[in-house]
Structure 1
């Protein structure tokens, strides 16, 4: 083992443990396995305190690779000074002499990017590999120009060009941007969709992130299919708003007329004074390399961008996307007792809408019983596998994205589903207790629109802490307050069942109820 004086560390299957010297300044370090940099983190900012030390847990994408032996080193990113190094064995390898390899199936080295994804980083690519990407950037910039906007390289691509004339080694993708001539968000969105249609007519496949950001897919000369992100922006009241992180005081002359900067020997368009945009993106310290940089968007900017272009994503990125990513292949995809209970009560139902359908197990159950079932969820990855499976089996099941924390999504979805044939039923299992007050109000609004006074809404909520812990993302709510909210919406609770378990009678009859089921209907 070798180490710089004053820095003690050890590495195990959980992660990296570091004892920092008293009074030391926070700094980014590179994590190097057998001479290969696989990621970076700040010694304090990105770690947590544990037993008097700082602890950095292995990111999930990296864990599956950490089986075997490696020389693990922590290297000061700024000075390249090795702060700690040790030969360790991680995981439970059959052969303790096998070396850890962090690479893809073709043997290409991988590293953690700024989003903690394992990717092929620019530092591990030769000029031969970068030429197809540069060709793609030039092609897409020309396509955007012909579509009517003056696009330029943005974010990490712009930072690398201005700071060092090339791609940043710890980056993995290329970003483009443009600033619209319009000043109203509605006009900016209309222009973005017009631009998308023009690109599709040119033959480019496009997928959309939001009302002002999309990805263009390009087939490169080496056969690689690459997606280039295009972030739109506009100036309003002296502020530049650029998807997805920027809301900063700005002058028009800092953008136009566009200039150029060299990126790996190619002259590419950049804003007239690119340093102002880099300050808006990365702060005044943008000239100092930070391999573990994290965007910290001000709350006001986030609210505006969400409201104008993205919509709200309450708990989706923090809770639901990771949850359903973990559920993939777990086998936890069986119909609930709740849907079986509803089915027994609603034998005549022709159509059903499952709000917060998750993996779609209850939707599949209803479809197998001949019910025209629609699943709604605002985490698309939750139902993606079931959607494909049911489509192959030609069952009467469809899935839609919907967001109960947005009135506009609720109204559009409710209007569309109100046309489904009846008799109808709406199910919402652990939705009212997994959303906020706006979400509960919109859940009732949606159900009322869908049912049109000719069916019932079935709710299941947590009324007290569940034995063994609450379901992920769910919290107990005041059922009496929910009943009052139903009545305020014009509905009536026609039945209420307080349960001590998912299946009535499945637990000790004397146990304290912690589940509540409500049956709601509205007048015609």
Structure 2
């Protein structure tokens, strides 16, 4: 065993407990955190503003917390170098087993740059890498030949290619970028949506990230879902902007015409000057490996890009974290009381569309009863889980990513649901209070379109009387609304309330008995 050291000039000894770890505040290199000998997380050096006389108190990331119950060997070491700050056994919680950060198949997981647990490249097979690169080459070809876009390898994939000729071991996806001919953000957004339509028609599974970025999803050779992100770049007033967070005075010639980079022996298109783009993306120290790197653009850059092309991912980070971690395992598998109540009033003769299906507990139950079920959900991690559960159970339910904050998606989905002229049952449990105002207005617009041929929209949501209560799943964004407010909004959009009930005892979970409202709504035909 390597003898641990006590830290820098502050003299503070590293320390861990069930809630957090502590490292010397003057330790100025990237630190790796290993559990049971497995790397799971890296800690960036403190900012220059951090106090030098105190230790850094770093809470365990939310995605890791559900796993931290039992015995573990914790090692904190330098990412580059041989020094070890801490190497000791620790018992988390009351568990008596070994802490293992693995997926259901026993494969090791680690935190990605967004705080999600993923299977990194260095734990995958050579076939997995080949399948990823095959998909990258196919996507590059389709972007070029079908969309007229000359994309190139960017971000982590470019960084790995230039530094080592391989994908970065701790990374888990691939990134492409392109320079748009447009200089107005609205035109850039229209171009991105057009590209997504073309790719969807060619069979791609697409998840929209913003008005100027999206990801394609596929299953790799190891059976894991992988993403290839596609980011728009554009030049405004002499500055180059690249989603998600880059702004730099790079000329057109830095990016185009595309050059060539080598990645795992394959020749792929890269920017004309890879080093210049990498420095603009990661800073002057881009050649030094740093698995803890996170983008920290100036506030002005973040605000400008948000104003131009974002505003479409409200609260998404919370839901992705929730459904990609073991926190979601606390949600019961059996159907909700609301689902059973709806089934008493409906029959499988009408297709059922659940909006915001979460863990899929109700949607899968309806499918078992013979309903033709379609599930729409904001978080990709929830969609992935529901698809896997349906496949394992042999159910034919369909699940897809859907964003109520993106009007284009709302209008397109409304048209799809209405095109057959078949009465539908729409279902939304605990959806209304999870939406901000614009998402809620788009929900009414979707229902108005989808129910043209008849059918009811069943809703259950927390009311204003629940705002001060304790909540079993903690505190996060909830918009507690009085039922009269919701009813007024629905009626102003042409809906008619056919049933209304509110009170306690309708949605009991363990010790929580929220005050909720149930509605059944019909739209004019």
TM-score, length-normalised on structure 1?
0.72
Matched residue pairs, number? 495
Partner of 2:89: 88
CA spacing shift, 1:300–1:470, aligned 2, 3 Å: farther
Assess, with a 3 A threshold, how the Cα gap between structure 1 residues 93 and 266 changes in structure 2: closer, same or farther: same
Residue 500 of structure 1 is aligned with which of 476, 497, 504? 504
SS in 2 for 1:2: coil
The superposition leaves residues 114-166 of structure 1 with CA deviations (integer Å, 9 ceiling, x where unpaired) of 455465566x999x99997999799779957984765544213433555x555
From 10, 23, 30, the counterpart of 2:15: 10
Q: Secondary structure at the match of 1:487?
A: helix
Separation in 2, partners of 1:324, 1:135: 25
Q: Contact 2:422–2:453 at 8 Å: present in 1 too?
A: no
Quote the Cα distance in structure 2 between the aligned partners of 1:301 and 1:327.
Answer: 32
Q: In the TM superposition, what are the counterparts of 1:111-510 in structure 2 within 5 Å?
A: 113-115=112-114, 117=117, 119=119, 147=145, 150-160=150-160, 162=162, 164=163, 171-172=170-171, 175=174, 177-180=176-179, 182-183=181-182, 184-185=187-188, 186-187=190-191, 190=194, 207-210=205-208, 213-214=214-215, 229=228, 231-237=230-236, 238-259=238-259, 270-286=270-286, 289-296=289-296, 298-306=302-310, 312-323=312-323, 325-326=325-326, 332-346=332-346, 350-367=350-367, 371-382=371-382, 384=384, 386-387=386-387, 397-419=397-419, 424-452=424-452, 454-463=454-463, 464-465=465-466, 467-469=469-471, 474-502=478-506
Q: Deviations over 1:269-293 (max 9, x none)?
A: 5433334322432245545553311
Name 2:60's counterpart in structure 1. Answer: 57
Whole-angstrom CA distance in 1 between matches of 2:197 and 2:350: 37
* Deviation of 1:437 (Å): 0.7
What secondary structure is seen at the aligned counterpart in 2 of 1:452? coil
Q: Offset at 1:37? A: 5.8
Partner of 1:31: 33
User: Which stretch of structure 1 is more off in the superposition, 488-497 or 181-190?
Assistant: 181-190
Cα distance change, pair 27–228 in 1 and its aligned pair in 2 (3 A): same
Q: Which residue of 1 aligns with 2:75?
A: 72
- Partner secondary structure for residue 411 of structure 2: helix
Q: Shift of residue 29 of structure 1?
A: 2.5
Counterpart check, 1:518 vs 2:519: yes
Give the SS at the match of 2:486: helix
Q: Is the 8 A contact 1:44 1:54 kept in 2?
A: no
Quick check: 2:239–2:249 contact (8 Å CA) kept in 1?
A: yes
Measure how far apart 1:325 and its partner are: 4.2
Which is higher, the Rg of structure 1 or of structure 2? 1
Note the alpha carbon deviations across 1:434-460, whole angstroms, 9 max, x for none. Answer: 101112212222222222274433322
What SS class does the counterpart of residue 416 from structure 2 fall into?
helix
SS of match in other structure, 1:483:
helix
**Shift in Å, 1:251:** 1.6
The 1:461/1:269 distance shift into structure 2, 3 A limit, reads closer
Q: CA RMSD in A?
A: 5.2
Q: Is the 8 A contact 2:156 2:168 kept in 1?
A: no
How far 1:355 sits from its partner (Å)?
2.5
CA 1:344–1:29 in structure 2 vs 1: closer, same or farther (change >3 Å)?
closer
Seen in structure 2, the aligned counterparts of structure 1 residues 84 and 399 have a Cα distance that, compared at 3 Å, is closer
Deviations 1:483-503 (A, max 9, x none): 221232233434432212216
Normalized against structure 2, the TM-score is what? 0.72
Q: Distance in 1 between matches of 2:282 and 2:377?
A: 34
Note the C-alpha offset of 1:61.
5.3
Does the 8 A contact of 1:11 with 1:88 survive in 2?
no
